[in-house]
């Protein structure tokens, strides 16, 4: 039997050999055998590279504040699979998720689902069983062939910032990646996007016109006029997309008003992004910063507002764990200023950039880089100066940090940051 700390390995790991295999046919066939639970609730979908989770949690909290029975589906998680599925205000209980996974498993085996497809099927079962009215779906990877796109009716769609990431699956440049993400558009849908790069904006506009969707561009919020429970300048754009989505829902009859939106935005929290913690007494700042756009945004945020994130001026100490399929040298170069030091640590269970590989690829950083055999050892070394250490590079690394001994710092607006995928 599972417990609240259940990692569901017995149910999910057998599907891991499938890895990433984008497509809709397998999951659509499995959902049909499960009675099409996805047809029992309405959906809002959010695609993009960085900021999807921020937008989703802002929308979800506003829907709850408006009295709507709303769910949330996000990925990846930091510690537990239960983080990915929220039924109204709360994460799904471990026994409930286990029950839905067990229901889906025999059918998932017949259709050779991937782990993400299996969990998506379980999420759809959970949302239907909880009798939710509206669910906010964060795209896992890409969009056109992502499992969340199996929901048949997504009349309101958001686009977070689109940049270069997961090129091995989505394409070699932002325009090609944008085309994959624009594949979520449906005829008659309203799509919301904050400003994008010119090449991405052109693809989104052309894709919307081709499919018969309306694309609305929104300007970033004035953060002097809006209170967000998410920290960082990037939230001005994310908040604008969330606001556009909520107003589009209101046009379609959902009872969402501005006071509810403001309450929801203020209540929003998103762990592992610009999150202040104390680890064995060491001040620690966590942010995924898992790709180059996210790293650039994190560095700009910390340079502009160091005091807001508990950082002193001057050189900073970093703890970096970066997956091997990421732009490790570019991420490190974006994060480290002259005088900064970084400890490179492995992320257990994943192929990662090593100190040797990074220094070979980026020799100018060699004097600033160090190696540690584990997260704990890296924190002990980086924290010897008792200044706040910034841990970044992968949400999987942050999940490992979240299971270590630590105490959250109760500081308003410090739970959100710049990145949303590991």
pLDDT at 262 over 50: yes
**Per-residue confidence at 230, pLDDT binned at 50, 70, 90?**
very high
> pLDDT at position 166, please?
57
List, for residues 87-142, the tens digit of each pLDDT value.
Answer: 999 999 999 999 999 999 999 999 999 999 999 999 999 999 999 999 999 999 88
Q: 164 lies in a domain?
A: yes
> What is the rounded average pLDDT of the residues 230-238?
92
- For residue 164, the model assigns a pLDDT of 64
Q: Which residue range(s) make up the domain with 185?
A: 9-267
pLDDT tens per residue across span 313-337:
788 999 999 999 888 999 999 999 9
List the strands of the sheet with 134-138, edge to edge: 90-91, 85-87, 70-73, 134-138, 42-47, 156-159, 190-193, 214-217
Tell whether 247 is covered by a domain: yes
**Do both 309 and 207 map to the same domain?**
no
Q: Which of 234, 267, 300 marks a domain boundary? A: 267
Residue in the block written with tokens 């379980």:
122
- Exposure letters 372-395 (e unless 16+ CB within 10 A, then b): beebbebbebbbeeebbbbbbbbb
**Residue 361: CATH number of its domain:** 3.90.190.20
Q: Which of 23-32, 343-352, 385-394 has the lowest mean pLDDT?
A: 385-394
Does residue 163 sit within a domain?
A: yes
Percent of the chain beyond pLDDT 90? 69
Q: Are residues 213 and 296 in the same domain?
A: no
What pLDDT, in 10s, does the model give residues 137-178?
Answer: 999 988 999 999 999 999 999 999 997 665 566 666 889 999
* Arithmetic mean of pLDDT, 69-75: 97
| Residue 210, both tokens | 């081709």
């Amino acid at each position: 039997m599972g417990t609240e700390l259940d990692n569901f390995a017995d149910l999910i790991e057998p599907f891991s050999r499938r890895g990433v295999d984008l497509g809709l046919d397998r999951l659509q066939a499995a959902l049909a055998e499960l009675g099409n639970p996805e047809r029992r609730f309405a959906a809002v979908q959010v695609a993009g590279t960085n900021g999807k989770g921020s937008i989703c949690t802002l929308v979800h909290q506003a829907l709850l504040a408006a009295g709507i029975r709303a769910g949330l589906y996000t990925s990846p998680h930091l510690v537990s699979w239960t983080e990915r599925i929220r039924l109204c205000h709360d994460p799904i209980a471990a026994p409930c998720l286990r029950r839905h996974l067990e229901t889906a498993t025999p059918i998932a085996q017949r259709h050779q689902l991937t782990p993400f497809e299996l969990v998506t099927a379980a999420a759809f079962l959970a949302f239907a069983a909880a009798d939710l009215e509206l669910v906010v779906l964060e795209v896992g990877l890409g969009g056109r062939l992502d499992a969340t796109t199996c929901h048949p009716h997504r009349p309101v769609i958001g686009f977070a910032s689109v940049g270069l990431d997961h090129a091995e699956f989505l394409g070699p440049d932002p325009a090609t990646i944008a085309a994959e993400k624009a594949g979520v558009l449906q005829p008659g849908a309203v799509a919301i996007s904050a400003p994008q790069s010119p090449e991405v904006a052109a693809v989104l506009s052309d894709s919307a016109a081709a499919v018969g969707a309306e694309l609305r561009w929104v300007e970033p919020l004035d953060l002097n006029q809006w209170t967000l429970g998410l920290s960082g300048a990037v939230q001005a754009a994310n908040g604008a997309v969330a606001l556009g989505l909520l107003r589009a829902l209101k046009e379609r009859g959902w009872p969402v008003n501005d006071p509810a939106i403001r309450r929801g935005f203020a209540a929003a929290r998103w762990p592992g992004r610009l999150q202040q913690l104390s680890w064995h007494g060491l001040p620690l700042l966590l942010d995924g910063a898992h790709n180059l756009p996210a790293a650039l945004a994190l560095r700009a945020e910390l340079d502009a507002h160091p005091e807001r994130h508990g950082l002193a001026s001057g050189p900073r100490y970093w703890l970096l764990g970066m997956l091997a399929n990421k732009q490790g040298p570019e991420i490190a170069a974006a994060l480290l200023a002259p005088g900064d030091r970084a400890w490179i640590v492995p992320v257990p269970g994943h192929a990662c950039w090593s100190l040797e590989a990074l220094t070979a690829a980026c020799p100018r950083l060699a004097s600033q880089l160090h190696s540690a055999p584990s997260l704990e050892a890296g924190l002990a070394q980086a924290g010897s100066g008792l200044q706040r250490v910034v841990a970044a590079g992968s949400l999987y690394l942050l999940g490992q940090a979240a299971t270590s001994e630590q105490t959250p710092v109760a500081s308003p607006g410090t739970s959100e940051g710049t990145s949303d995928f590991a």
